[in-house]
Amino acid sequence: MSRKHYYTQLSNSHPEMIEVKLKLTPDELITLRKLTDSRASDTFAQIIRNLINQKAGKSTVKVIKG
Classify residue 50: in a domain, yes or no.
yes
The residue among 62 and 32 whose pLDDT is bigger is: 32
Classify residue 15: in a domain, yes or no.
no
Supply the pLDDT for residue 13: 62
Classify residue 47: in a domain, yes or no.
yes
How many distinct structural domains can be found in the chain? 1
Helices (H) and strands (E) in the chain, counts: 2, 0
Where in the sequence is the domain holding 43, given as residue range(s)? Answer: 26-56
Write down the pTM of the prediction. 0.49
Classify residue 30: in a domain, yes or no.
yes
The residue among 61 and 24 whose pLDDT is bigger is: 24
Per-residue confidence band for 65, with pLDDT thresholds at 50, 70 and 90? low
Supply the pLDDT for residue 40: 82
10 Å CB burial of residue 50 (0-12, 13-18, 19+) is: middle
Classify residue 62: in a domain, yes or no.
no
